[in-house]
Structure 1
Amino acid sequence: MPRFLAVYTMKPEDLARFRSLPKPEQDAIDAVGFQQWVDWEARNAAFFPDRGGMVGRTTRVTKDGIADAVNPFCGYIVVEADTIEAAARLFENHPHFTVFPGDGVDIMPFLTDAR
């Protein structure tokens, strides 16, 4: 079955706005969102050969060296689905952007199979 990389994205300013909320408000959002996320993963577990995870600050390596970098990536998961459209449908109304300040989920096919 085809595999796809799903990358959770979030604008830094949206995360900053969320982190500026009072701590009890953040905790309330987290409680609702995390439970919805866990439930979503459980419902769709058969599609996830690698559940991935959330990621932190970025370090970029180029021909010029190593430096801090900024990108919108905040997590990933590997999806198995018949088509990219089927993979994308799994993320409709996902708590990443319906509860949390996430901006979207980018779905990309793997062009090589590293299994």
Structure 2
Amino acid sequence: MTFTKRCFLSNKHKRQGLVALCAIFLAGGWTTAASAQWLLATGRISAANLSYAENQAFRINIYTNEVNQFPGCNGGFGFLNVSDSNYEAKVATLLTAASQSKTVEVSYTKDSSGWCAITDIRVQF
């Protein structure tokens, strides 16, 4: 017995769907991770600040040889909001690393307004 895949759309409908998808993408109506700038800050945390839950709640500054590792970021810091994935664990990890003067690698994205949101953290122990 042979099984074959069947597509329930005609070739005409497939073409129309592809054209519509391309139009949405080119018009900027579909946001993807590829549109963000993925960057890396490496060094020791020199300062940590707290603010309101969704107003860049936890902010850090990282410097290496007195050079800010969040260049071009508003305020010169990277931030986490309370609603971010693993917020408590990330804050605890960053504070522990800071208290022990450990080097951290922080991945972040910079939006079109220049705000830098922390996405991932690696601590070198």
User: Which category of TM-score, normalised to the shorter sequence, fits these structures?
Assistant: under 0.3
Could you state the TM-score of these two structures normalised by the residue count of structure 1?
0.24
Look at both structures and tell me which one has the larger radius of gyration over its CA atoms. 2
Q: TM-score under structure 2 normalisation?
A: 0.23
